[in-house]
Amino acid sequence: MTQSIATMTLVVADYDAAITFYREQLGFVLIADTDMGDGKRWVLVAPEGGRGTRLLLAKADGAEQTNAVGNQTGGRVMGFLETDDFATDHAAMVARGVKFLEAPRYEAYGSVAVFEDLYGNRWDLIEPKL
């Protein structure tokens, strides 16, 4: 049996703001935006070229979910955006206004820099050494 993680949920405050951030600042593509009724939508985004996991952008519903927006992993890095050209992608993201929390680092496992999404969730931009 072969399995993979296809989609992960990311709780957001606003569908359209999240779509704009992931498309315009990170360069992701919008895969689906389907009205589910009662103000809910099925919104999927993924990196251009789409190898790997997609993000389901789910609007917070209720106080508990609203409190999780921007802190879904308690301040730890939540996601790892893997690239095969760190320098080019880092420069493009900086030019598009992505907030990096550190200068690029060159570790034994690869090139990496931590950035935040529009709500403050932390991500690594990483080019692993193979």
Rounded distance, CA 85 to CA 104, Å? 13
pLDDT of residue 37: 96
Q: Which two tokens stand for residue 87?
A: 């320098």
DSSP code for 76: S
Q: Is the pTM of this model over 0.85?
A: yes
Going residue by residue through the chain, which has 130 residues, state the pLDDT in tens, using 9 for 90 and above: 888 889 999 999 999 999 999 999 999 999 999 999 999 999 999 998 877 899 999 999 999 999 999 999 999 999 999 999 999 999 999 999 999 999 999 999 999 999 999 999 999 999 999 7
Rounded distance, CA 121 to CA 119, Å? 6
Q: Which two tokens stand for residue 16?
A: 């359209």
